[in-house]
A and B are shown apart, each in its own frame.
Chain A
């Protein structure tokens, strides 16, 4: 089945540790996105990428890093510089250039907590 796979489902981070969240899609979508969801705040954009080897900062990129070495994969690293990383992280993807914005499709998220 086509879709977006995020792993792990739950992740715990120790003080000073970097952790990486995985996002893989087999929808042949061009663009991929990372969002952070906190209670009562909706989804906020962290980073996005519209083409391999290129990505842009979203609204809350500080303390995060990404890479886009393959079209199918867009991993997110939460660095030790991110002082409040506890949140639900969502990955999304969409196709580009089909006569307008297409809706984004989401994975089932990774819940990150501090140990």
Chain B
């Protein structure tokens, strides 16, 4: 079993819809949680970074962490075609190393 599980999709939504992405993990030692966005043939770009359980909002993006359920989510409101990308969850155990999910490919249709 992988430490971090993420449904690879693909996920296709119409413009303006809410995109919902999630990851589950098995190791309760994970303390830091990140979401990255990766466009084709580019490196991952940090979207959200959280430490504690709860919600964190940044513009159209909301990250949720539920440590008791070992579950994290990313919501994208009012999705745009420019949001079409692969979204990677990542997490760390305070050892300066990251464990990644497989990534979910999202397409927002105009």
Instruction: Give the most central of B51, B98, B101, B103: most A CB within 10 Å.
Output: B98
A105 proximal to B (CB < 8 A): yes
Question: When the two chains form their complex, are residues B102 and A40 in contact, meaning their CB atoms are under 8 A apart?
Answer: yes
A50 proximal to B (CB < 8 A): yes
Q: Which residue of A lies closest to B48 (CB)?
A: A103
Within 8 A of B (CB), among A55-74: 58
Question: When the two chains form their complex, are residues B94 and A106 in contact, meaning their CB atoms are under 8 A apart?
Answer: no
Number of B residues, CB within 8 Å of A = 27
A40-B8, A40-B102, A42-B103 as given contacts; A50 in contact with B43, CB under 8 Å: no
Question: When the two chains form their complex, are residues A101 and B96 in contact, meaning their CB atoms are under 8 A apart?
Answer: yes
Within 8 A of A (CB), among B1-55: 4, 6, 8, 31-32, 34, 36, 41-46, 49, 51
Chain B residues near A (Cβ < 8 Å): 4, 6, 8, 31-32, 34, 36, 41-46, 49, 51, 88, 90, 92, 94-98, 100-103
* Given contact pairs A44-B100, A48-B96, A103-B46, a sample of 5 additional A-B residue pairs in the complex whose CB atoms are under 8 Å apart: A4-B43, A43-B44, A94-B96, A103-B49, A104-B46
16 A–B contacts from the bound complex (CB under 8 Å): A4-B43, A33-B97, A40-B8, A40-B103, A41-B102, A42-B101, A42-B102, A43-B44, A43-B100, A90-B43, A100-B94, A101-B31, A101-B32, A103-B34, A104-B46, A106-B44
